Structure 1
């Protein structure tokens, strides 16, 4: 039995049977009725029953779903940097993470449109506890990362995850997407956690992890939404953090966040593909001999690239000016754009709660500060 049995996506030989098991599930029906509103259920079900690979399922069902989501809940998706990627080369995409499903769904749609192979995708097992969602994740080539384990079990699980990533990249020649940290960024501060890099490095074995990192072609990804469709849902956790309280998720919180992320209004979206980091990683190896400091330097390198590639929207600049009570960035937005943002802000935030006001505005304003800091560091 494969060591990856508990975490892997479906094999193509398993796809048709898996589809037959969920073909009459009400959530699949709702998803397909949204995607194909003008055809009967028999039409898409017949197509699905003739589907025998993950790629077929992604192209014929998931890709049209993503297009419909963009049509209904956004003002369009723009991209930059995809021309730098080579066909038949696998990459480890390390990305900032804002939305549970859309981040990777949109990236894969862009890869497909550019004639590139779609990724295998890391997803926390807390998000796929419902059997239908687990099947759907495995049908879209996601592998699960186990959360909340005791220390010893976590170590073993991390080794398996790391080996799976290596297997996908170097044996199957398939790119992998993984977030720069566990969970989504809630406060707008996109930061790479060293723990993610250390987990990835476990599969290096006897090889120096720096050499291994160069072999797996690390590429940073920056994704930004003009409006975060889950901004309101992030507020309770942000407020708990601001008050130094422990935040406990509600029973269906992840699922509600997932739905809101898909259907909530996002306006414009941008995905930027950064440069391959092999040269910079080699420079770190030359400049720093301590392994722990090397990991931190690579995390900092990813941060600089992700933040520099992040598309700032009028909402970011408006929030910054409102948060700091000035007009530093007034040339970056119109009066109408500011009114729209303020209307949304006033509807969802208790204006009598200074901490709530600050937390909400900072969620949008922090990327402005972070990018400014990074660009100033590059100049110096």
Structure 2
């Protein structure tokens, strides 16, 4: 028994059994029919039966599924910054987070296309309550972040995850993806929570935690979708927050979000890989030896990288102008693009609910606001 058994993905020795036990599951069939529409069922089943490693499953099946998702529900994925990364080298990717499945899947597609090490990726255990989804996540090299714990359990769980991340990066030469904060960004404001960095640092045996972060090769990542396929689904939670109410998820809400993110229209998508934070971490170390201040500074450095490289789309500028009743960015979009966005707003949001309308627009506009703040602060 490994101390990480409760959170780790499958070992390669466990892959085939997990696949074979899922062959006839309706969701596996739906996934394969979507991915290989012209392939007879017995053919893809035969190929799955001969799959014995996570890498083979990811490249032969998951990679193909994501290509179909891009083909069916987007106008393409563009990338930048990957040329800065070295092959056969592990990195700790700290990323903004928009979509449950696609953020990590698209990053891994990009890493594979560039001949780089793919990631083990953190996922909340609340998203994989169904047995098939848990198996699929473990086949796709996800490790679990346990939710809903008491403070004492949370401390123990955080230590375990921290040790596992360090083991992946240092002993297994496996890159790791973590979101900059718990859960997806609902309002378009991307900000790194210091608690995530403190959790990562728990496994450090260095006198100065900045030496530890330098060892991990931290790389900020920004991902932006022209249309958020789950934009309207995020509104009830934002509405509850506006009313200062506790938001309670519907029974299958996470699952609905998961599916909507995959099949919903995204238009264009861009992923940017920032610089490896070496000089920045050294500067922080030289500025202060107070751990809390160092963590605060590191969070700011990651935020600056993500905000600077975040790709703004016409939808972002349109929302900003509508929200501010201005034409400040009218040169960034066409009249047709504006009409399409307004039509989306009309179809997805109750026109009489001004709070929800403002929230929907702010979700798209806030990346513009934050980029302006970043530019003005420099």
Structure-2-length-normalised TM-score: 0.99
**Equivalence for 1:43:** 43
**Equivalence for 2:18:** 18
**Equivalence for 1:261:** 261
- What secondary structure does 2:75 align onto? strand
Is it true that 1:127 corresponds to 2:127 in the alignment?
yes
Report the Cα distance in structure 2 between the residues aligned to 1:158 and 1:122, rounded to whole angstroms: 12
- What secondary structure does 1:248 align onto? coil
Deviations 1:197-246 (A, max 9, x none): 00000000344211000000000000000000000000000111111111
- Report if the CA contact (8 A) 2:89-2:116 is conserved: no
Report the Cα distance in structure 2 between the residues aligned to 1:271 and 1:316, rounded to whole angstroms: 16
Deviations 1:235-275 (A, max 9, x none): 00011111111100000000000000000000000000000
Deviating beyond 2 angstroms after TM superposition, the runs of 4 or more aligned structure 1 residues are 205-208
- Report if the CA contact (8 A) 2:206-2:212 is conserved: no
**Equivalence for 1:328:** 328
Alignment gaps of 5+ in structure 2: none
Is it true that 1:87 corresponds to 2:87 in the alignment?
yes
**Equivalence for 1:69:** 69
Residue pairs, 1:146-295, within 5 angstroms: 146-295=146-295
**Equivalence for 2:143:** 143
Report the Cα distance in structure 2 between the residues aligned to 1:207 and 1:165, rounded to whole angstroms: 19
Deviations 1:272-307 (A, max 9, x none): 000011110110111123211111110111101011
**Equivalence for 2:309:** 309
Cα drift, residue 336 of structure 1: 0.3
RMSD, aligned α-carbons: 0.7
Deviations 1:84-129 (A, max 9, x none): 0101111000000000000000000000000112100000000011
- Report if the CA contact (8 A) 2:201-2:209 is conserved: yes
Structure-1-length-normalised TM-score: 0.99
Report the Cα distance in structure 1 between the residues aligned to 2:173 and 2:334, rounded to whole angstroms: 46
- What secondary structure does 1:262 align onto? helix
- What secondary structure does 1:23 align onto? coil
Report the Cα distance in structure 1 between the residues aligned to 2:316 and 2:261, rounded to whole angstroms: 19
- What secondary structure does 2:48 align onto? helix
- What secondary structure does 1:122 align onto? strand
Report the Cα distance in structure 2 between the residues aligned to 1:349 and 1:141, rounded to whole angstroms: 37
- What secondary structure does 2:360 align onto? helix
- Report if the CA contact (8 A) 2:208-2:289 is conserved: no
Report the Cα distance in structure 2 between the residues aligned to 1:115 and 1:261, rounded to whole angstroms: 27
- What secondary structure does 1:57 align onto? helix
- What secondary structure does 1:22 align onto? coil
Deviations 1:5-34 (A, max 9, x none): 100000011111110110110100000000
- What secondary structure does 1:178 align onto? strand
Report the Cα distance in structure 2 between the residues aligned to 1:277 and 1:63, rounded to whole angstroms: 29
Report the Cα distance in structure 2 between the residues aligned to 1:186 and 1:61, rounded to whole angstroms: 30
